[in-house]
Structure 1
């Protein structure tokens, strides 16, 4: 299902909370938390890549599978086939509602080389810390962007030093970063090959 389609299934008594601004924010926060819930039985049944793709698309992100140029953004059009046929290589979470509780989906992914986190209102330091702790991503991830995520601070960015094969990191519009030079120095001290671009002005 997609986010819009799910609303049609909700009873009128539930959707009525959207009549007020505060209720609307609470409702969408609750619904986004539902979209981020990890179903470990589903991961076992369809494999980590398919389950992660379903999570990401439910939350409004896009995925690109290894060997394909096309980005997938339609949940209902995800390809089917052998569990090892479609392996995620790229994640574009621009303007998505992914939350830290959904990041367990990343554990089984072995081929992710690119992640974009742009204008994600729920991305915070804990998300970057969780991402950088995933052993498979420490080996596979080459390129990352974190843009306009207002809850990210120096602490979260510095945590990315665990991504030992990271080659390119683009950071922009992150008001939570207060010590630009120290953050860059700490990253490049741990990852000498890393090319860091900070556009924070």
Structure 2
């Protein structure tokens, strides 16, 4: 008991930690560094490998064509012939991906599903950028956007360019204020799209 009290007293004397704002700025800066696009790396190892490195560096997971297992560990990315592993699915749950890194998605040709869940840096501009990538316009079939507080109706309606999108799940998005209108815009542009809404 005496030892616990002694440790508690010492803990109270530690130097003041940086304010939340300073800490937040530091993390935002580090996350921006993680998201910076390295075009030379894309040329050297190919788009799928470079995108895998970006996504895992930011805390996301990827699944490759023909494999059931999700790749989660940056240090255990598979090796082999360039272009052998093609990203089929991305789970960006609680990752720090930002719009500046979305250029990594440009060369991906086989991505069928993406999950954005609790992505603090996901903005409307990210969804607009996503919808402009021609390869994803052809390949992306399923998209989940959950608990991403910066997403508004404007970002979601930009998804109408994803011409082959079959399923869109939207949940816990306080920035969506006109959910029926937004869903209707998407349904008119993409008649075969199933939109599932779980919004307050």
Q: Which stretches in structure 2 are left out of the alignment for 5+ residues?
A: 1-14
Q: How many residues align?
A: 186
Aligned to 1:190: 189
Q: CA deviation at 1:25?
A: 1.0
Deviation at 1:83, TM superposition (A): 1.4
Greater Cα shift, 132-141 or 75-84: 75-84
Q: Distance in 2 between matches of 1:135 and 1:96?
A: 24
1:110 equivalent in alignment to 2:105: no
Q: TM-score, normalised by structure 1?
A: 0.90
Report the equivalent of 2:129. 130
What is the CA-CA distance between 1:92 and the residue it aligns to?
0.2
Q: Distance in 2 between matches of 1:42 and 1:191?
A: 35
Question: For 1:72, what is the secondary structure of its paired residue?
Answer: coil
Which residue of structure 2 lines up, in the alignment, with residue 37 of structure 1?
A: 36
CA shift for structure 1 position 22: 2.3
Q: Is the 8 A contact 1:106 1:134 kept in 2?
A: yes
Matched, 1:170 2:137: no
Match of 2:22 in 1: 23
Does the 8 Å contact 1:153/1:174 carry over to 2? yes
Alpha-carbon shift at residue 99 of structure 1 (Å) = 0.1
State the 1:17 CA deviation: 11
How far does residue 157 in structure 1 lie from its aligned partner after superposition?
A: 0.3
Is the contact between residue 18 and residue 27 of structure 1 (CA under 8 Å) also seen in structure 2?
Answer: no
Superposition CA RMSD, Å = 1.3
Given that residues 17 and 23 in structure 1 are in contact (C-alpha distance below 8 angstroms), is that contact kept between their aligned partners in structure 2? Answer: no
Using the size of structure 2 for normalisation, the TM-score is: 0.91
Q: Tell me the equivalent position of 1:99.
A: 98
Please state whether the residue corresponding to 1:19 is helix, strand or coil: coil
- Point out where structure 1 has 5 or more consecutive residues left out of the alignment: 1-15
Contact 1:18 1:24 survives alignment (8 Å): no
Distance 2:16 2:22 in 1: 5
